[in-house]
Amino acid sequence: MGQTRSGESTPDIRLYCMGGGTLTFDQSVFTHMRGMGTLVEVPTPIVLILHPKGMVLFESGLHPAVATDPEGHWGQRAVDWKPRMTPGQSAAAQVASLGVDPAEISYVILSCLIPDHAGGMQAFPTATFVVQFQELQDAWWPDRRFMRSYDFGELLPTRDFAFWELYGEDLDLFGDGSVMVLSTPAHTRGEQALVVRLPRTGTMMFPAGVFPQRMNYDENIMTGTPRVAPSVVHASMRRLKALAQREGALLIFHHDPEEWKTVRLAPQYYD
């Protein structure tokens, strides 16, 4: 057993960060109204957590077909997003490269169900998917505001998977405080952030779409594509920032290319 900076005991666990390919967006997609007209190529993270009570994947990356035939699979989305991905960057391939059979993954936690986060779901049919019910509603039965955000073709084969549905609530996955899922509406109405408390590294936070880049965190800039009221987004921002400051968390920003140059990538790990 180890101990986090906050003094809580945690089991010995390992956390692997992996890059699942890149996409290109207008900078203002991430930093509300800032950088409009500037294109930026950003990573699509995948995280593997080895815990004594089960293996956990956070985010499932891009659909494998994006590596081989992006326009055939995505159509106009591929033209707009300009994906760069190799077959070896799929979630299943990267997990396997670490000696883990995809069938061994117990839980897949998704910050949202947009394709750069949920595209690899189909490779983990035996896992339980931890998702906010609001996110399932928006992805499976989208209204006109959100229809272009999700890829129903990718999600349809997963409809019969096992889902642990959360209702605007948090989840202590293993009951020991080491893997926490936090309800943080922002980029999507069912947005979730992840907090992992490690024995040696201490607290790591993955704020996903709440703080997609460090600029969001440092300058209190909300995401450029909020799907909830700004007051709700800022409440999620304040909540995560308070926790990060209280526990001295190491923050991993999903879509910040400069920050990802400093991230310890698999096969290296955090423990």
> Residue 189: is its pLDDT beyond 70?
yes
pLDDT at 7: 46
Which residue in the block uniquely carries the two structure tokens 């997990």? 95
Rounded percentage of the chain residues whose pLDDT exceeds 70 = 95
Q: How confident is the model at residue 54 (pLDDT cuts 50, 70, 90)?
A: very high
pLDDT at 15 over 80: yes
**Residue 8 pLDDT greater than 60, yes or no:** no
Cα 269 from Cα 99, distance rounded (Å):
14
- Quote the pLDDT of residue 246: 98
Bridge partners of residue 23, in order along the sequence: 42
- Residue 11, pLDDT > 80, answer no
Please, what are the domains in the chain?
2-260 (3.60.15.10)
What's the confidence (pLDDT) of residue 145?
Answer: 67
The pLDDT value recorded for residue 10 is 60
Q: List, in order, residues 6 or more apart from 72 with CB less than 8 Å away.
A: 65
Is the Cβ–Cβ distance between 131 and 113 less than 8 Å?
A: yes
pTM of the model: 0.94
pLDDT in the model for residue 4: 43
Given a contact cutoff of 8 angstroms between Cβ atoms, the answer to whether 62 and 119 are in contact is yes
Residue 195 tokens, joined = 């907090």
pLDDT for 5 equals 42
Pairing of strands 105-109, 128-132: parallel
CB-CB contact of 161 with 176 (8 Å): no
pLDDT over 50 at 201, yes or no: yes
- With a cut of 80, say whether residue 191 has pLDDT above it: yes
In the prediction, which pLDDT does 6 show? 43
Q: Which residues, in sequence order, are CB contacts of 128 under 8 Å at separation 6+?
A: 106, 107, 108, 162, 163, 164
- The tokens for 201 are 């590294």
